[in-house]
Structure 1
Amino acid sequence: MSTLGDRLRRAQPVAEGLDGQAADDAPSVATEERPTLGKRAADVAVDEAPSAAKRLSMGAGQKDRLEDLKASVHQELLKQLGPQLYDANMDQEDLSGRVRQVLKDVLGSQEKPLSSGDRTQVTLEITDDILGYGPIEPFLRDPDVTEIMVNGPDSIFLEKGGKLTAVPVRFTDEAHLRRTIDKIVSRIGRRVDESSPMVDARLPDGSRVNGVIPPLALDGSILTIRKFSADPLTAKDLIRFGSLSERTADFLDACVRGRLNIVVSGSTGAGKTTTLNVLSSFIPSDERIVTIEDAAEIQLHQDHVVRLESRPANIEGKGAIDIRDLVKNSLRMRPDRIIVGEVRDASALDMLQAMNTGHDGSICTVHSNGPRDTLSRIETMVLMAGMDLPMRAIREQVASAVDLIVHQARFKDGSRHITHVTEVERMEGDVITLQDVFVYDHSAGFDANGRARGGLISTGLRPKFLEKMAHANVTVDPMLFAMDGR
């Protein structure tokens, strides 16, 4: 059967011949032939319309068939493999081989044979769903994706290069999304249900996971995954990205080896954990390091590292072990360094006590808008401990404990930069005095693509804690503080 395009192409020479007739024939052509051609094209379009609708119907039917097939194969896999799919001790290669064999047998037993393309598609999607995390599995494998945000089963956004973009993939339904969240949290012994609808977890590679389910999430379960690279970023990587200058990296290296107490501050997504990893990499390998986190994210390569992770309450609401409990316990573990992934509550008081009781060289992170706000937040979190301490006593503790604040910010272009390296000096009256050692130079503006052109520059001031560093046999080249260049 000829298509509409074929018929119109055959009709075209007729129309051209008619256009070339004598002028006295033109009225008859205009009144007789051309309406006939128009009618013929319309008739063909009407003839083709049912065919197009039929093709669309067939495509929808094929899609529904594939969805039904995926559901039945999924059920068969669950029936045959059962709890092996969620066994954290199961060897992944062995599990993958079993899943693929069962998948091959089930697909081979279908009454209606599948095309090669459909078989590949079904195999990939079911494998991702069973062995991985469903439709978001390809994005977890993509090294360019830094964050995955699932806002219900029908809405998935990614962060690439600091920019958010929506992607045209979806979960089958709310139950599919809930199964994925349960798979993630169950592997580290955590749970999420109506009685505990929020959960913090992590993937095996250390990527941070947050889940919120109904009734708190109104439009379906919410899943947020902040990915970590398989190879932790180093100081050289941050220098290459422009987040750090070489002189600042050398200075921070000396500060860590000189056993200064450092607070890394910044907003959500500013890169605090990455900077914490870089600072921790400067710790000598002959020291005992205790890390304390809500969800284990810090990636250290020293020989002597003890990792502690908090625990939420069980289904009866008992058994919770929080950051504060772990900080207290770490003091009995003979640490040379205590690293706290994030201080967000009364554990700030215990962290200050650790810094003030001989555990110099400790590092932690705090959410804040700047170096001065960092001190204010620490004071507020200490008050949350309910000790009724006078504000001056708290500030004296902070001024005595904290030596350096490294503040990081995320710019509008998506890039992340260390903007302040600030010394905490002493108390003057009731105020803690601060002194910037390195600050970000915003005067360079932006390039044609909207990327920030500035960088960290020295203020020319020499910090007063150089004497404390000298007691640890660490000296700093005075030229690091010279104001010329970056």
Structure 2
Amino acid sequence: MRPNVVAAAIRAESGGVLGDTEVLNELRVMQTELTGAGILEPLLWADGTTDVLVTAPDAVWVDDGSGLRPSRIRFADEAAVRRLAQRLALAVGRRLDDAQPWVDGQLTGFGTFTVRLHAVLPPIAEAGTCLSLRVLRPASQDLAALVRSGAIAPEAAGLLDEIIATRLAFLVAGGTGAGKTTLLSAALGAVAEDERIVCVEDASELAPRHPHLVKLVARAANVEGIGEVTVRDLVRQALRMRPDRIVVGEVRGAEVVDLLAALNTGHDGGAGTVHANSPAEVPARLEALAAAGGLDRRALHSQLAAAVQVLLHVSRDAGGRRRLAEIAVLVRGSGGEVSTETAWHADRGEGTGMARLRAMLAERGGR
């Protein structure tokens, strides 16, 4: 509807007593209420924003890469937060009401990035409507840029180049917002140009500078509960697409079973990310995910030992800067269980796993 028509409707509703200034104010309020992410829009568009979180009308938090901090944005009341959450739910084809008090989806219309939406209504969210918006910007930096920024130490960059060139399979692990996707995308950009990468993601984030990249993105069910395409479905499809490398943007469920199976059937050099707060936690984390896919503990460790050789762990330093903190190798013990051994650490240098890593690189033609 054209602005002049809306303005005329506002004047008619007020009985003609509103002046131009009041009409403009009303138009701005309506635009905020009815378009985009409302009053949160400027926060989402700001450079560096990774998360915008609403826990109460007067408690809006933002993370711009340096940790969460309170913003100056305020909602008029709880009803305003609820209205925005419900409107955003409709925008992703979901319902959000007392019968379905939470929603998870992906918002588009933000130019080069998308926004992952999660919202919970009272009384499930006891203090009021809780809204979480994660900004998913394409990860397009290369390894050289990460070295220049200090996210990767020069000695670690050399090891990464060899790991990629010799087609060792690797996982990038780390906590929320630690930079897993950024590092994985940069690593894929260093893959030889004559290799075909098939990348499977839950949400489109990876954007490596590579000439032969095929991206498959999962799809949630629609409001009627049909049409879902899972990451696990797409991993299986990727196997039929003549990949040189199969990549899963984030391993978060039963798809780990199919990824490990793929890496064990001639698809060297695959990669993915997994949420873990330390390298030592990764095997246990994968155990839990594999159980959802029907793979028992013993079978998981057997598959993991044969499929993945290297673990790259990212974290934030004391100043909040993201960095590659550790390169570890996966080692299978005498009892069959896989553990991690540090090859290089950002603070301590080379570790006991370096000899094993060097041996694997040499076996595949590296230095």
Task: Give TM-score, length-normalised by structure 2.
Answer: 0.83
Q: Which of the residues 300, 308, 318 maps onto 1:402?
A: 308
C-alpha separation between the residues in 1 aligned to 2:73 and 2:222? 35
Tell me what 2:154 maps to. 246
One-letter amino acid matched to 1:253? D
| CA spacing shift, 1:224–1:397, aligned 2, 3 Å | same
For residue 432 of structure 1, report the CA deviation from its aligned partner.
2.9
For residue 160 of structure 1, report the CA deviation from its aligned partner.
3.4
One-letter amino acid matched to 2:176? T
Q: Which has the larger radius of gyration?
A: 1
Tell me what 2:57 maps to. 153
Tell me what 1:16 maps to. none
- In the alignment, structure 1 residue 257 sits paired with structure 2 residue 165: yes
Q: Deviations over 1:133-156 (max 9, x none)?
A: 111111122114332111143321
Q: Higher strand proportion, which one?
A: 2
- In the alignment, structure 1 residue 382 sits paired with structure 2 residue 290: yes
Task: Give TM-score, length-normalised by structure 1.
Answer: 0.65
User: Contact (CA 8 Å) 1:147, 1:227: kept in 2 or not?
Assistant: yes
Tell me what 2:40 maps to. 136
For residue 259 of structure 1, report the CA deviation from its aligned partner.
2.0
| CA spacing shift, 1:390–1:263, aligned 2, 3 Å | closer
One-letter amino acid matched to 1:437? A
Tell me what 2:343 maps to. 437
One-letter amino acid matched to 2:19? P
Higher relative contact order (CA 8 A, sep 6+): 2
| CA spacing shift, 1:202–1:314, aligned 2, 3 Å | closer
Tell me what 2:233 maps to. 325
Tell me what 1:453 maps to. none
Query: Gapped runs of 5+ residues in structure 1?
Result: 1-80, 82-97, 443-456, 477-486
- In the alignment, structure 1 residue 225 sits paired with structure 2 residue 133: yes
User: Contact (CA 8 Å) 1:190, 1:201: kept in 2 or not?
Assistant: no
- In the alignment, structure 1 residue 112 sits paired with structure 2 residue 112: no
Q: Which of the residues 166, 176, 190 maps onto 1:282?
A: 190
> Structure 2 matches for 1:49-64, cutoff 5 A?
none
User: Contact (CA 8 Å) 1:198, 1:213: kept in 2 or not?
Assistant: no
C-alpha separation between the residues in 2 aligned to 1:171 and 1:262? 45
> Structure 2 matches for 1:43-82, cutoff 5 A?
81=1
For residue 317 of structure 1, report the CA deviation from its aligned partner.
4.5
User: Contact (CA 8 Å) 1:396, 1:427: kept in 2 or not?
Assistant: no
Tell me what 2:216 maps to. 308
SS in 1 for 2:50: strand
> Structure 2 matches for 1:33-48, cutoff 5 A?
none
For residue 130 of structure 1, report the CA deviation from its aligned partner.
3.8
Q: Higher helix proportion, which one?
A: 1
SS in 2 for 1:227: strand
User: Contact (CA 8 Å) 1:407, 1:421: kept in 2 or not?
Assistant: yes
User: Contact (CA 8 Å) 1:153, 1:174: kept in 2 or not?
Assistant: yes
Tell me what 2:199 maps to. 291
| CA spacing shift, 1:369–1:165, aligned 2, 3 Å | closer
Tell me what 1:267 maps to. 175
Q: Deviations over 1:335-389 (max 9, x none)?
A: 22222122122221111101111122211111112222101211232233234x4
SS in 2 for 1:138: helix
One-letter amino acid matched to 1:359? H
C-alpha separation between the residues in 1 aligned to 2:268 and 2:52? 37
> Structure 2 matches for 1:348-367, cutoff 5 A?
348-367=256-275
Tell me what 1:76 maps to. none
Q: Deviations over 1:288-327 (max 9, x none)?
A: 3222222222223434333323333445555543322222
For residue 257 of structure 1, report the CA deviation from its aligned partner.
3.2
- In the alignment, structure 1 residue 416 sits paired with structure 2 residue 327: no
Q: Deviations over 1:390-440 (max 9, x none)?
A: 62x432211110011011123453222221111224443434354322202
| CA spacing shift, 1:154–1:382, aligned 2, 3 Å | same
Q: Which of the residues 102, 105, 109 maps onto 1:200?
A: 105
C-alpha separation between the residues in 2 aligned to 1:121 and 1:292? 46
One-letter amino acid matched to 1:347? E
One-letter amino acid matched to 2:334? E
Q: Which of the residues 467, 481, 485 maps onto 2:362?
A: 467
User: Contact (CA 8 Å) 2:139, 2:182: kept in 1 or not?
Assistant: no
User: Contact (CA 8 Å) 1:202, 1:295: kept in 2 or not?
Assistant: no
Q: Deviations over 1:247-292 (max 9, x none)?
A: 2123213322332211111112222122222222223343332222
| CA spacing shift, 1:255–1:189, aligned 2, 3 Å | farther
For residue 240 of structure 1, report the CA deviation from its aligned partner.
3.8
One-letter amino acid matched to 2:215? R
C-alpha separation between the residues in 1 aligned to 2:288 and 2:194? 35
Query: Gapped runs of 5+ residues in structure 2?
Result: none
User: Contact (CA 8 Å) 1:185, 1:201: kept in 2 or not?
Assistant: no
